[in-house]
Structure 1
Amino acid sequence: MAQSDFLYPENPRRRQEVNRLHQQLLDCLSDSFQVTNKLTGVLNTHLGCRLAFIEMKRDGTIKENCDIIIQAVMKIQEELQKVDTALKDRLEPTLYRRLQDIKERETEKIAIVQRVISVILGEATSAASAVAVKLVGSDVTSGIMNKLVTVLARIGTSLLGSIGVAVLGLGIDIIIHAILGAVERTQLQAAIKSYEKHLVEFKAASERYHDAITEVTRAVKCQIR
């Protein structure tokens, strides 16, 4: 038992809470890595991209891993922007505007993209058109991805950023030491509040991101059948 536990008997419970929240943060990070790789696979297969898959750095910090995801998402956005620009150049202005219209039926949008996608990619399937419609110029690219990047950047610059992702297996006291170098009541409470604050945002952003990519892969499967 740490010396401060005699003065603050609630500290052991607070350590357990930090441990639990740390695991939740790691779970969200791991999920974001997996979802980003799923999207990377779809883009490489159907839009001819050459994006690299990413891997969680087990000996790195929370910030380092947040940065890995941020860079991957930004590269994905760059590739999608290239496709968007090509569509805008190839399509008549009225047809391009229809792609941006949320009221336009998705089947109609796919038909519009199919007119020029093969010219852009050299060779393309109907699945490529579906991917382009789901991602190019959509809320996935401009809203959902941007929100995820913003949340990850905030976590990286918070007091959690310097924590190593692998410290969980080393014991609760190691986590606490890594955070603030002490286990006094006010410092534990500050750590818990920081975890809770960032987890609320991160969970919401990662869930929207996951749902959006799941929708993209579902649309691809429908076109392949």
Structure 2
Amino acid sequence: MAQSDFLYPQNPRRRQEVNRLHQQLLDCLSDCFQVTNKLTGLLNAHLGCRLAFIEMRSDATIKRNCDLIIQAVTKIQKELQKVDEALKDKLEPTLYRKLRDIKERETEKIAIVQKVISVILGEATAAASAVAVKLVGSNVTTGIISKLASVLTHIGTSILGSIGVAVLSLGIDMVVQAILGAVERTQLQSAIQSYEKHLTEFKAASEKYHHAIAEVTDAVKRQLRKRSPEKRVEKDMVSQI
């Protein structure tokens, strides 16, 4: 037991709370790495992008890992912006406005995108159109991804940014030293408050991000299922020739 624990008997409990909140933050970060890679895979597979996958670094700080996600989503935004600009250039103004209109049905938007997607990508697929509609014709790029990047920036510049991802393996006392350099009550309370504040923002932003990417994935799956019966018919026709 640290000497200050005799003066502040609640310190051991506070250390446990710091430990718990730190793990929650790491879990959120890990989830964001996975979802960002899922989005990267979708863009590479269906929109012809060549984005790199990212990996959470256990030997780096929280800030460094936040920066890796921010860099990845910024590149994703740029790729989607290119698609958006191409659609705007190839579509008639009235059709482009429909693509941006939240009141328009998704099936109508996919049909609009399919009119020009082959010119943009070199081939026309329903899956590519669905990805474009879900990501370009919505607030995913400008809203949800931007909010996530903003929250990650705030975390990186807070007192939590300098904490090492792998610090938990050193034990609770080492966690406190790595985070605070001391075990006084006010410092522990300050750390807990910072964790709670940033976790609340991070969880809200990441949940919207996860939900948006899940919608894109589901839309692609629906389009692929629609196409699969046609492919089976084509295969049967070929086999009969």
TM-score normalized with structure 2 length: 0.93
Corresponding residue number in structure 2 for 1:144: 144
- After superposition, residues 70-109 of structure 1 pair within 5 angstroms as 70-109=70-109
Which segment is superposed worse, 206-215 or 172-181?
Answer: 172-181
Output the amino acid matched with 1:69: I
Corresponding residue number in structure 1 for 2:171: 171
Q: CA contact under 8 A between 1:54 and 1:72: conserved in structure 2? A: yes
* Unaligned stretches of 5+ residues in structure 1: none
Corresponding residue number in structure 1 for 2:124: 124
Which segment is superposed worse, 170-179 or 36-45?
Answer: 170-179
Output the amino acid matched with 1:124: A
Task: Compute the displacement of 1:137 (Å).
Answer: 3.9
Corresponding residue number in structure 1 for 2:9: 9
Task: Compute the displacement of 1:205 (Å).
Answer: 0.3
Matched, 1:181 2:175: no
Corresponding residue number in structure 2 for 1:46: 46
Output the amino acid matched with 2:102: I
- The percentage of counterpart residues that share the same residue type is 82
Corresponding residue number in structure 2 for 1:196: 196
Task: Compute the displacement of 1:177 (Å).
Answer: 0.7
Which segment is superposed worse, 104-113 or 120-129?
Answer: 120-129
Instruction: Measure the CA separation in 1 of the matches of 2:134 and 2:46.
Output: 13
Instruction: Measure the CA separation in 2 of the matches of 1:136 and 1:63.
Output: 29
Q: CA contact under 8 A between 1:46 and 1:124: conserved in structure 2? A: no
Instruction: Measure the CA separation in 2 of the matches of 1:168 and 1:118.
Output: 50
Output the amino acid matched with 1:57: R
- After superposition, residues 59-78 of structure 1 pair within 5 angstroms as 59-78=59-78
Question: Taking CA–CA contacts closer than 8 Å with sequence separation of 6 or more, which of the two structures ends up with the larger relative contact order?
Answer: 1
Output the amino acid matched with 1:208: K
Output the amino acid matched with 2:60: G
Q: How many residues align?
A: 225
CA RMSD of aligned residues (A): 0.5
Instruction: Measure the CA separation in 2 of the matches of 1:23 and 1:10.
Output: 20
* Unaligned stretches of 5+ residues in structure 2: 226-241
Greater than 6 Å deviation, 4+ residue runs: none
Instruction: Measure the CA separation in 1 of the matches of 2:56 and 2:105.
Output: 38
TM-score normalized with structure 1 length: 0.99
Output the amino acid matched with 2:128: A
Task: Compute the displacement of 1:138 (Å).
Answer: 1.4
Q: CA contact under 8 A between 1:176 and 1:183: conserved in structure 2? A: yes
